[in-house]
């Protein structure tokens, strides 16, 4: 007693693309593969053009530069090895990572807190934050806090953290 394969129907919807495939299982499988062959180059291209940062890799890259204690995040590199912009970027990176790891409630720091941690006057802090915003490393939020951008995270990971580690003689 042999059974004929039942008809199969697959409906695919992704954003504005919608397609229904039907036939026997083999036909649907072939149509599905063809659909993805045509669509995947677009997915692959979009993926390559999308800025994203893997938290695990970022944490590994930040090792020996940042650390978390029960009191909060700390920069482990001596201040004399950092520029003001690097210090502010690291403070915002630590805050961002702490937020993503569930150690900090809010992903953003007010200018006054950044000024206190930087140890500089309000004018210098404002100027440095303005430079970071202009360079799109940092953004000012609607509630007047500052946070690191995805672009800033990528720049920190690719350029700034390696430079800081080399200057501070931190071996990875």
Domain co-membership, 105 together with 128:
yes
**CATH number for position 114:** 1.10.10.10
* 172 is a domain residue: no
* 3 is a domain residue: no
pTM: 0.74
pLDDT one-digit tens code per residue, 73-123 = 999 999 999 999 999 999 999 999 999 988 999 999 999 999 999 999 999
Domain co-membership, 35 together with 66:
no
pLDDT one-digit tens code per residue, 115-134 = 999 999 999 999 999 999 99
pLDDT one-digit tens code per residue, 28-65 = 888 888 887 777 677 777 777 778 889 999 999 999 99
Q: Measure the CA–CA gap between 148 and 141, rounded to whole angstroms.
A: 10
**Residue 90's closest CA among 103, 109, 71, 106?**
109
Domain co-membership, 69 together with 35:
no
* 139 is a domain residue: yes
* 43 is a domain residue: yes
DSSP string, 53-86: --HHHHHHHHBTTEEEETTEEEE-S-GGGS-HHH
Domain co-membership, 66 together with 90:
yes
pLDDT one-digit tens code per residue, 127-164 = 999 999 999 999 999 999 999 999 999 999 999 999 99
Domain co-membership, 39 together with 70:
no
Domain co-membership, 90 together with 133:
yes
CA 70 to each of CA 29, 60, 96, 114, 163: distance values in angstroms, whole numbers, following the listed order: 54, 20, 16, 19, 28
Count structural domains, the chain: 2
Q: Which domain holds residue 134?
A: 55-167
């Amino acid at each position: 007693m042999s059974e004929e394969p039942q008809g199969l129907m697959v409906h695919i919807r992704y954003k504005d693309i919608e397609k229904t495939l039907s036939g026997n299982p083999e036909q649907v499988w072939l149509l599905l593969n063809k659909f993805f062959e045509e669509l995947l180059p677009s997915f692959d291209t979009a993926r390559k053009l999308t800025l994203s940062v893997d938290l695990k890799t970022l944490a590994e890259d930040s090792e020996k530069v940042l650390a978390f204690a029960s009191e909060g995040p700390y920069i482990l590199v001596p201040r004399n090895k950092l520029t003001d912009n690097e210090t502010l970027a690291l403070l915002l990176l630590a805050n961002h990572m702490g937020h993503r790891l569930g150690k900090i409630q809010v992903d953003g720091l007010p200018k006054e807190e950044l000024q206190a941690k930087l140890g500089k006057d309000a004018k210098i802090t404002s100027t440095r934050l303005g430079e970071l915003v202009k360079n799109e490393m940092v953004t000012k939020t609607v509630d007047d806090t500052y946070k690191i951008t995805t672009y800033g995270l990528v720049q920190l990971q690719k350029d700034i953290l390696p430079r800081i580690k080399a200057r501070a003689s931190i071996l990875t």
